[in-house]
């Protein structure tokens, strides 16, 4: 599946890695919901690192729909929370 890291690009991931990444991802969500900024940052970095390690980067000129999207490495908890709010950061 194709995963986009915002501001970075897309990587192709084997479905087998999903279980491991899901664990981090759920952790990240919990930390965001608890408002735990430092933990959120740590988990986000860990998750991004894993995705980069496990995935193969897609060429920049390829146009593939992303199935999963990750916030950019410097995204803050608040920014991600805004993303996940009903309106999202991109209106419409």
For position 37 contacting another protein by CB under 8 A, the verdict is: no
Give the total residue count for the chain. 92
For position 42 contacting another protein by CB under 8 A, the verdict is: no
When the beta carbons of 56 and 87 are compared against another protein, the nearer one is 87
User: Which alpha helices (DSSP H) does the chain contain, by range?
Assistant: 18-34, 37-54, 77-84
Minimum Å gap between C-beta 83 and another protein is: 6
Interacting residues with another protein between 17 and 36 (CB under 8 A): 21-22, 25-26, 28-29, 32
When the beta carbons of 56 and 82 are compared against another protein, the nearer one is 82
Q: Helix (H, G, I), strand (E, B), or coil: what is residue 44? A: helix
Per the DSSP assignment, residues forming a β-bridge with 4 are: 10, 69
Cα separation, 23 vs 91, whole angstroms: 30
Counting Cα atoms < 13 Å in the Cβ hemisphere of 30 gives 9
Interface with another protein (CB under 8 A): 3-4, 6-7, 21-22, 25-26, 28-29, 32, 47, 63, 65-72, 80, 83-84, 88-90, 92
């Amino acid at each position: 599946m194709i995963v986009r890291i915002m501001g970075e690009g897309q990587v192709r991931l084997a479905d087998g890695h999903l279980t491991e990444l899901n664990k981090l991802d759920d952790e990240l969500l919990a930390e965001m919901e608890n408002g735990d900024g430092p933990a959120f940052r740590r988990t986000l970095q860990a998750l991004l690192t894993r995705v980069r390690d496990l995935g193969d980067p897609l060429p920049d000129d390829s146009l593939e729909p992303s199935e999963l999207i990750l916030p950019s490495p410097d995204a803050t908890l608040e920014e991600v929370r805004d993303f996940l709010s009903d309106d999202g950061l991109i209106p419409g």
